């Protein structure tokens, strides 16, 4: 069921409460990946369940999502259980089941933010503003990338026929939801996974891959995210270590004012 008046991301994040910390959701065709749904949207819908929970405290601070098994097109169930609530932090246990089988596990931490001394030791890369960077052409044969407007500063989708190895796997892109949608924590969590697999760029050839686990730290509270509005954010990723069938990808997402909105690391399975 697609409701044209609802944004595709909000459609994918729609949850019906079932009580007892359980929620019913459904995959949507616009977010299809090669197999199953885009992992970023799976992360976002787990986070959404905790955000929708009546016992929720504060805003998302940390999210770990482990992709334990495939998710098929159709209905699924999410369990978002507040495992412990403190004065300023709240710890969540997350799981996604489909057809009675566990597909995804996870944890989240929510926090009440307060104004404090602040500093950053990482600076946003110097890149041209989004308006000066061309919008990438739509992807053929893959749905989810077309839910984003992507403007590549560095590391566009690689030519997988080239076959010769590149010395790095860096990508920097201005990105926003398509159609435009005000940024919030689930959208940001999804963007942290919106990079094509780093091993594709390093090797410039296709190889079967699958994200195993992603952890995202959200550095901005709801007000900072709301202030970003619908303007593109700068999303940067790189591969770190590729060894024995698993590689690490690190990513940062920056607001256009130069604020680090999120950091993310993931480990991805690759074949040969």
Residue numbers at the binding site for a copy of itself (CB under 8 A): 61-62, 64, 66, 68-69, 83-84, 86, 88-89, 91, 93, 95, 101-102, 105-107, 109, 111, 113-122, 165, 168-169, 202-203, 212-213, 215, 217, 219-221, 238-246, 248, 250, 260, 263, 265, 267, 269-272
CB 117, min distance to a copy of itself, A? 6
Contacts of residue 42, Cβ cutoff 8 Å, sequence gap at least 6: 65, 67, 71, 96, 104
CB 129, min distance to a copy of itself, A? 22
CB 234, min distance to a copy of itself, A? 15
CB nearer to a copy of itself: pick between 157 and 269: 269
CB 249, min distance to a copy of itself, A? 10
Query: Hey, is 208 helix, strand or coil?
Result: coil
End-to-end CA distance of the chain: 39
Both tokens assigned to 236? 């940067």
CB nearer to a copy of itself: pick between 30 and 210: 210
CB nearer to a copy of itself: pick between 181 and 205: 205
CB 223, min distance to a copy of itself, A? 10
Q: Rounded to whole angstroms, what are the CA distances from 179 to 1, 9, 46, 154?
A: 19, 9, 22, 23
- Of 261, 267, 265, whose CA–CA distance to 251 is shortest? 265
In angstroms, the CA 62 to CA 263 distance is 10
Residue 48: CB atoms within 10 Å? 26
CB nearer to a copy of itself: pick between 29 and 102: 102
Query: Hey, is 188 helix, strand or coil?
Result: helix
CB nearer to a copy of itself: pick between 147 and 219: 219
């Amino acid at each position: 069921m697609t409701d044209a008046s609802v944004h595709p991301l909000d459609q994918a994040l729609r949850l019906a409460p079932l009580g007892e910390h359980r929620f019913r959701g459904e995959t949507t065709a616009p977010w299809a990946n090669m197999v199953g749904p885009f992992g970023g949207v799976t992360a976002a819908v787990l986070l959404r369940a905790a955000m929708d929970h009546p016992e929720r405290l504060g805003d998302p601070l940390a999210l770990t999502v482990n992709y334990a098994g495939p998710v098929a097109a159709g209905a699924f169930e999410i369990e978002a259980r507040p495992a412990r609530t403190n004065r300023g932090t709240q710890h969540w246990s997350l799981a996604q089941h489909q057809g009675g089988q566990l597909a995804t596990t996870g944890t989240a931490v929510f926090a009440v933010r307060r104004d404090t001394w602040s500093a950053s030791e990482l600076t946003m890369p110097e890149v041209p503003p989004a308006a000066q960077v061309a919008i990438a052409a739509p992807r053929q044969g893959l749905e989810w990338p077309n839910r984003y407007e992507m403007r590549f500063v560095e590391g566009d989708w690689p030519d997988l026929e080239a076959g010769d190895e590149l010395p790095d796997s860096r990508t920097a892109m201005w990105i926003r939801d398509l159609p435009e949608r005000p940024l919030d924590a689930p959208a940001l969590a999804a963007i942290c996974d919106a990079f094509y697999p780093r091993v594709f760029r390093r090797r410039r050839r296709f190889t079967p891959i699958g994200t195993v686990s992603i952890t995202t730290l959200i550095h901005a509270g709801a007000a900072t995210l709301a202030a970003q509005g619908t303007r593109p954010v700068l999303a940067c990723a790189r591969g770190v270590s590729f060894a024995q069938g698993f590689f690490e990808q690190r990513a940062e997402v920056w607001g256009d004012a130069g604020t680090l909105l999120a950091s993310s690391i993931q480990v991805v399975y690759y074949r040969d």
